[in-house]
Structure 1
């Protein structure tokens, strides 16, 4: 039971020792400990401010990144739209050129066909006239082989001329 209820001397010396340790700590260790705690608190505050600034910077960068991505998407869409328009224009121009070229070729072919048709008709007419003249000559030579037939034929021609 001696440990549970200490003597007056033990209590006195324990108090003196405690107070002297407290005085020595206050004299030599208290300020450095408080300074260390204050520095630690300031470094933690600085780290928190830096973390907050970094967080804000990350949010700003993320926002800027989203804006840049949106601009890139819009530019890509614009380029694709322009490319589609150019493609459609090129196709349309090519179709129109082909149509004009086909029309030219058709009109040229029609003109050539018409020209060849007229040439062929003229050749046929010349051939028909030539053949008709030959046939007429042969018929006339055969039918007008006598002088009397020639006179009769000349008289019939004169009658036809007078009637016309």
Structure 2
């Protein structure tokens, strides 16, 4: 039973050793340990504040980036709209110029056709007159006594003219 119930001397010396150990630990170990724990708490708190600050900065930068993207898209849309308008204007101008040039060419061709037609008509009239003169000359050179022979000659000459 001695092992279960210690003697008073053993309890006294154990208690005294424990108190001395507590005083030594308090003087030399508790302060550095508590200081380290406090420093660690302060470091964690600073890190959390910095993380929160970084999170807010990221949110601000994200908003700025989104705003810049919206502005860039709006500017792109405006540039595309202006480009379409310029393209349409150029196409309309080119169509107008092409129509004007086509009308001018058609009018020039009409004038040339009319000139050629007038020249051809004048040439035909000249040829008809020359043929008429040739027929009259041949008729006059050959004097026939018979009226029928003269009519036959005129008909033959007219056939020759038509065939030519």
Q: TM-score, normalised by structure 1?
A: 0.74
Corresponding residue for residue 51 of structure 2: 51
- Secondary structure of 2:43's counterpart equals helix
How much does 1:107 deviate? Answer: 0.8
Gaps of 5+ in 2: 144-164
Once the two structures are TM-superposed, the CA of residue 142 in structure 1 deviates from its matched residue by: 5.7
Corresponding pairs, count? 145
Matched ranges for 1:124-135 at <5 A = 124-135=124-135
Shift of 1:63: 1.2
1:54-78: per-residue Cα shift (whole Å, max 9, x none)? 1111111111221222222222222
Structure with the bigger RCO (C-alpha within 8 Å, sep 6+) is 2
Q: 1:9 maps to which residue?
A: 9
Cα shift at 1:41: 1.1
- Per the alignment, residue 162 of structure 1 pairs with none
For residues 75-94 of structure 1, what are the alpha-carbon distances to aligned partners after superposition, in whole Å with 9 as ceiling and x for unaligned?
22223222222222222222
Aligned partners of 2:5, 2:67: CA distance in 1, in Å?
78
In the TM superposition, residue 114 of structure 1 has moved relative to its aligned partner by 0.8
Query: 2-side partners of 1:114 and 1:13: how far apart?
Result: 145
Hey, what does 2:115 align to over in structure 1?
Answer: 115
TM superposition score normalised by structure 2: 0.74
Pair 1:71 & 2:71 matched: yes
**SS in structure 1 at match of 2:107:** helix
CA 1:4–1:55 in 2, change beyond 3 Å: closer, same or farther?
farther
Counterpart in the other structure of 2:151: none
* Consecutive unaligned residues in structure 1, runs of 5 or more: 144-164
